[in-house]
Amino acid sequence: MALGTLDHTPPPFFRQGASALTKLSLCSALSLFLMLADARFHVTQPLRASVAALLYPLQRSLLVPVEALSGGRDYMGGLSQALSSEQAARSELARLSERAQRTDQLAQENARLRALLELRPQLAVRSQAAELLYEAADPYSRKVIVDRGLTHNIVPGSPVINEQGVLGQVTRVFLQSAEVTLLTDRDAAIPVLNSRTGVRSAAFGGAGRGPGLLEMRFMAGNADVQVGDVVTTSGVDGVYPPGLKVATVSAIDRKADSGFARILLVPAALADGVRHVLVLEPTGVQMPARPQAASEPASATKAGRKAAKK
């Protein structure tokens, strides 16, 4: 073969173009330019929108099995939960129905026993709805203002309750509003009855261990009180009707060096978040006069006779 016919070009392996560093710098500059241009002028926004529109049917078709599986699982779980909720609701309805029947029977039996013993009927507690307007300005007390006052026949001492239990008592009455002192106020006190043992006591606000607690005072150190006991109004003060839920015993401190136990209560009704309440008429309005008031004229007459004899 003649030497002039040979190919003197180097093979592709030995061919060298731009260096790798040059290519990296060029690609980096191009990428940076495209990012800046897209961020500033949104040059690739139409391209991205077109690609997304083209790929959307494919994405939806690929998501169909996943959504079908997830929807079927949620359906079965919801169906099972609905069946269990229905069963629980039926059981609760049956329990409430049985309780309502027993309550009606007890009410009828109570009426018959009162008629048999010639006792006076239970007091009919009159009430009217009220709305909380705002809290009192005193930061060291627990008082609220309601939108019922003298024009609505509200009297001082009226109990204030909600669906959870006793909130407090009306302490001042204005023309169109009234001030309610809550049970957690440091000056508040309410006679209570332990619904488990039937022992009467008194609960006071402003317990020192924490805000929003009550304290049952003057209870013996060995008194039959347990954590979880529910205390209600006793009804012997002529203010609160009996049987209203007041609080639950949360802690008992029986000190060996003291004859009394320190009993803390959690109120059943909290003023936080309450908007509407019921203002009850004090039971003392419907009760006869106290014997002391009736005996005062007789005492005055006896004192006058003794003075005349002298």
Residues 6+ apart with CB under 8 A from 177: 133, 145, 146, 147, 148, 149
| Cβ–Cβ under 8 Å, residues 192 and 200 | yes
Reduced to 3 states (helix: H, G, I; strand: E, B; else coil), residue 208 is coil
Take residue 137 and report the two structure tokens written for it.
């300005």
User: Which secondary-structure segment (H or E) carries 115?
Assistant: helix 45-117
Sheet strands (E) in 123-244: 127-135, 143-146, 159-161, 166-173, 178-182, 189-194, 200-205, 214-220, 230-233
Map tokens 């006058």 to a residue.
Answer: 304
Q: Which two tokens stand for residue 236?
A: 């012997």
Q: What is the pLDDT along the chain (310 residues), one digit of tens a residue?
A: 555 565 566 565 555 567 778 888 888 988 888 888 777 877 777 877 888 888 888 888 888 888 888 888 888 888 888 888 888 888 888 888 888 888 888 888 877 787 777 666 665 778 889 999 888 877 778 899 999 999 998 999 999 998 888 999 999 999 999 999 999 888 899 999 999 998 899 999 876 666 688 998 888 888 889 999 999 998 888 888 888 999 999 998 887 677 788 899 999 988 787 888 999 988 877 666 666 654 555 554 555 455 445 5
Would you say 160 and 206 are in contact if contact means Cβ atoms under 8 Å apart? no
Cα 275 from Cα 108, distance rounded (Å)? 35
Asked if 51 and 57 count as a contact pair (C-beta separation under 8 A), the reply is no
Cα distance between residue 87 and residue 80, in whole Å: 11
Vertex 14: Cα angle to 12 and 20 (nearest 5): 95
Q: Where is 40: in which H helix or E strand?
A: helix 20-41
Q: How far is CA 195 from CA 42, 77, 137, in A?
A: 75, 42, 36
Say what the pLDDT of residue 98 is: 84
Q: Which of 276, 284, 273, 205 is nearest to 240 (CA)?
A: 284
Q: Which amino acid is at 222?
A: N
pLDDT score recorded for residue 108: 83
How many beta carbons lie within 10 A of that of residue 94, not counting itself? 10
Closest CA to 200 of 226, 218, 182, 221: 218
3-state secondary structure of 263: strand
| CA–CA separation, 72 and 75 (whole Å) | 5
Q: Buried b vs exposed e over 200-215: b needs ≥16 C-beta within 10 Å?
A: ebbbbbbbeeeebbbb
